[in-house]
Structure 1
Amino acid sequence: MDISVVVPLYNEEESLPELMEWIAQVMTQNHFTYEVIMVDDGSNDNSWAVIESLRLKFPSLRGIKFLRNYGKSAALQVGFTAAQGDVVFTMDADLQDSPDEIPELYRMVKEQGYDLVSGWKKKRFDPLLTKRIPSKLYNATVRMVSGIKLHDMNCGLKAYRHNVVKSIEVYGEMHRYIPVIARQAGFKRIGEKVVQHRERKYGTTKFGWTRFINGFLDLLSVMFVSRFGKKPMHFFGTLGTLMFITGGAIAVWLVGSKLWAQFHHLKYRPVTDQPLFYIALVVAIIGVQLFTAGFIGELVSRSSADRNHYLIEKELG
């Protein structure tokens, strides 16, 4: 099968028929073999009934319905697990992503050798203050922290080589950082293509201001887990050791200063009367706690089922 299109959705009953018709038209015109996987993330409208009716007309359509709303990452992960196509596409169900972009994105993966191609909505029709400006700041921050030079990290329209979606895990709200997760898994050929952005035709957006705050926190999480997930002692142990040494050194200096002053019959302040002593004590205690956290994290990491899980690209013999 050439293509799998994964469509996560939540309360998008109006747009689904038009989207499916559009996808089918593009696939037929380009002679692709394909499947469309619509993942209903616990909608409380008639989205699932619409999917069931569309299935009668389009045999290539598959539907998955969650019992409740789990979030976009969960919907994508389930879609990735079910996908069978050589190239897997993701697109939103709100008709703001254009299926007409599929042939060129497919060519970039199959002919130009990209592992992942992300859409870039260079010209957007979203509100300036609530969407476009925060999005630019958000993407600039992600580029700086991750080192991946994509202009629109969170664009719903993306194309993946089959083994990419089978090798990564998307959870929580990490769907914003799939390119980061993919690169950390070893898929470094990541490209970008300017794609058409369309105005929302039906319904309203499902995301608010909190996504920018949550997005930044998720970025910190994914960067930390990728670097120290299997070696937590390298982070906590190093930081804890430095803090313990710093606090201990300050305490020793304070005690040494007192003893030196006593030996030379000079005036001195009792060590316990100095705020710096208590600061040093707190720093040393925090250092011990961090070191212990690293040690416990190391024990947990070594006990995990995927501690020796590695992705093999090629093998001979």
Structure 2
Amino acid sequence: MISVVIPVHNEEKNIEPLYREIVAALEPLGEEFEIIFVNDGSTDGTGEVLRRLKMGDPRVRILEMDRNRGEAAALTAGFFHARGEIVASMDGDGQNDPAYLPEMIRRLREGGYAVVSGWRMKRKEPLFTRRIPSWIANRIIGLITGVRVHDNGCSLKVYRAEVVKRVQIPHGFHRFIPAVFGVKNHEVAEVRIVDRPRRFGRSHYGLKRTFEVLRELLTIRFVLGNRPAKERRLFLSFLILAVLSPATYLVFPNFRPWFSLAFLVLAALAFLIYRNLHRFNQAQERGVFVVQEVIHAAQV
């Protein structure tokens, strides 16, 4: 079975066209499939549209989040509820074209990969505020993790089911898939896709996203491997650097402003990374989503 996971938040006008495209792409494969819409606290008519689709097609599944928790939590919920041995993900805004799914599924199976990731061409986004920062971030992620994916931010991806059930994804870390799942570089393939403009509505991203990307970039290396041990070492580093900052002010009077400031900055960075890694580790213990599946279309 193939599972397609789609987080949606206030996408009432985009859902039906996207649903029709997914069905048109997957039905010719002659395989069982399910389409899992994760309604992430929508306040428009998204819920009603989803129920109407479910009434006409039992392959549609609806997971209702208890509140708006963000894309990372919604993806995790869909991944953990997926029944298929192959799990695809995509955005609910229509920018990802489902027509590429058959090719990506074929690459996954024939190449023995763990993940096949979309690589967006001709992106319909601003050059300086989205595309250039994305290019820089992707190269940094590749250097840090060793997983050299050209477009980590592309939501159109296809996975083997066991890969997506490895971790709970805290807020913000979905931008670093597949590295956050711990896959190796040779386990990832890429398929070039044409990016499409958003059909209806507006983007949910804001300036806050820039800070979050930088914070997660600093943390991603520590997410890989023995996370609890790294968390303890980071906290110890923070304590040592925090003590050294005032100590250098007393021991090196000629250089005290610079030494003290340098240790203070390092201590702040260590604490920021420690807190973010602690948040990631807590997510594995507590989970990041609370959902209820809509079994009957008339369910409120």
Q: TM-score, normalised by structure 2?
A: 0.78
What is the distance in 2 between the residues matched to 1:36 and 1:156? 15
Contact (CA 8 Å) 1:90, 1:156: kept in 2 or not?
Answer: yes
Post-superposition shift, 1:101?
0.6
1:178-189 matched pairs, under 5 angstroms: 178-183=177-182, 189=187
2:203 is matched with 205
SS of residue matched to 2:88: strand
Please list, as runs of the form range in 1=range in 2, the aligned pairs for 1:107-146 lying within 5 A after superposition: 107-146=106-145
CA contact (8 A) 1:120 1:151 kept: yes
- The separation in 2 between residues aligned to 1:243 and 1:67, in whole angstroms, is 40
Contact 2:146 2:185 in 1 (8 A): no
Cα-to-partner distance string for 1:65-91 (whole Å, 9 max, x where unaligned)? 123211000100110111011110000
Q: Closer, same or farther in 2 for the Cα pair 1:13/1:249, shift >3 Å? A: closer
For structure 1, list consecutive stretches of 5 or more residues without a partner in the other structure: 255-273, 308-317
Residue type at the aligned position of 2:224: S
CA distance, structure 2, for counterparts of residue 249 and residue 40 of structure 1: 53
Q: What RMSD, in angstroms, separates the aligned Cα atoms of the two structures?
A: 3.5
Residue 68 of structure 1 is matched in structure 2 by: 67
Q: CA deviation at 1:56?
A: 1.2
Amino acid at match of 1:212: T
Contact 1:35 1:61 in 2 (8 A): yes
3-state DSSP of counterpart to 1:121: strand
Deviation, 1:200, is: 1.3
Q: 2:244 & 2:130 partners in 1: Cα distance? A: 47
Q: Structure 1 residues 205, 282: CA separation in 2 closer, same or farther (over 3 Å shift)?
A: closer
State the shift of 1:230 in Å: 2.4
Percent identity of equivalent pairs: 32
Q: Does 1:275 align with 2:253?
A: yes
**C-alpha separation between the residues in 2 aligned to 1:14 and 1:177?**
28
Deviation at 1:135, TM superposition (A): 1.9
2:40–2:68 CA contact under 8 A, matched in 1: yes
What is the distance in 2 between the residues matched to 1:248 and 1:135?
40
Aligned length in residues: 272
Contact 2:249/2:260, CA 8 A, preserved across alignment? no
**1: distance between equivalents of 2:224 and 2:244?**
28
Structure 1 residues 245 and 86 mapped into 2: Cα distance closer, same or farther (>3 Å)?
same
Structure 2: segments with no counterpart, 5+ residues: 286-300
C-alpha distance in structure 2 between counterparts of 1:218 and 1:247, whole Å: 29
SS at match of 1:200: coil
TM-score, normalised relative to structure 1: 0.74
Question: What SS does the corresponding residue of 2:194 show, helix, strand or coil?
Answer: coil
Higher-Rg member (1/2): 1
Q: Is the 8 A contact 2:249 2:256 kept in 1?
A: no
2: CA distance between counterparts of 1:16 and 1:243?
51
Residue equivalent to 1:196: 194
Q: What residue identity is the alignment partner of 2:253?
A: P
Alpha-carbon separation, structure 1, partners of 2:189 and 2:155: 15
